[in-house]
């Protein structure tokens, strides 16, 4: 019997390097955001709220990261998956802790999800741009 499976989980070192990069990109864009990193199991690893970033985004950033860890897809992909089916369109967005708008991405190494990042506080496009800048830190 296989007793366990091997899982890869993001280190604090990578999480912090990603947060550094995210903050740098946000400053370039002139916005203040919240950034959350979760491990592959959806537990909080690292978090930063930039000075002046919106308070509600403390939670939104975490839910975006959690959603991306929990379903292994970018949060911005959800709408296309549910838009044609009215049951899903009216039902799925009520799932607690699920964000279905852009700004959450899985963090992958060698094809495996090791964690996730969520950014909230600017426009959806800017939140996603900040995520992508942070993901460039990850070596594959």
How many other β-carbons are positioned within 10 Å of the β-carbon of residue 116? Answer: 30
Cβ–Cβ < 8 Å for 20, 125 = no
Cβ–Cβ < 8 Å for 19, 37 = yes
Least Cα distance to 16 among 50, 48, 54 occurs for: 48
Q: Smallest distance from the beta carbon of 16 to a second copy, in angstroms?
A: 7
* 134 CB-contact burial (10 Å; exposed 0-12 / middle 13-18 / buried 19+): buried
Q: Does 124 bind a second copy (CB under 8 A)?
A: yes
Q: Which residues in the 89-118 window bind a second copy by CB under 8 A?
A: 89-102, 109, 114
Q: Smallest distance from the beta carbon of 50 to a second copy, in angstroms?
A: 6
Q: Smallest distance from the beta carbon of 56 to a second copy, in angstroms?
A: 4
Token look-up 């802790």 returns: 97
Q: Which residues in the 13-32 window bind a second copy by CB under 8 A?
A: 13-17, 23
Q: Does 126 bind a second copy (CB under 8 A)?
A: no
Q: Smallest distance from the beta carbon of 125 to a second copy, in angstroms?
A: 10
CB of 16 or CB of 132, closer to a second copy: 16
Contact mark string toward a second copy, 54..83, x via CB under 8 A: xxxxxxx-----xx-xxxx---x-xx---x
């Amino acid at each position: 019997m296989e007793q366990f499976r091997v899982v890869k989980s993001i280190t604090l070192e990578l999480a912090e390097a990603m947060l550094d990069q995210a903050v740098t990109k946000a400053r370039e864009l002139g916005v203040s955001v919240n950034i959350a990193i979760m491990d592959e199991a959806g537990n909080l690893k690292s978090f930063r709220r930039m000075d002046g970033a919106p308070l509600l985004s403390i939670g939104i950033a975490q839910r975006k990261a959690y959603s991306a860890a929990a379903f292994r897809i970018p949060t911005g992909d959800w709408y296309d998956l549910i838009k044609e089916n009215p049951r899903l369109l009216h039902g799925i967005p009520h799932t607690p802790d699920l964000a279905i708008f852009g700004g959450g991405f899985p963090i992958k190494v060698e094809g495996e999800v090791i964690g996730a990042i969520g950014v909230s506080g600017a426009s959806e496009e800017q939140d996603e741009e900040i995520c992508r800048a942070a993901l460039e830190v990850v070596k594959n």
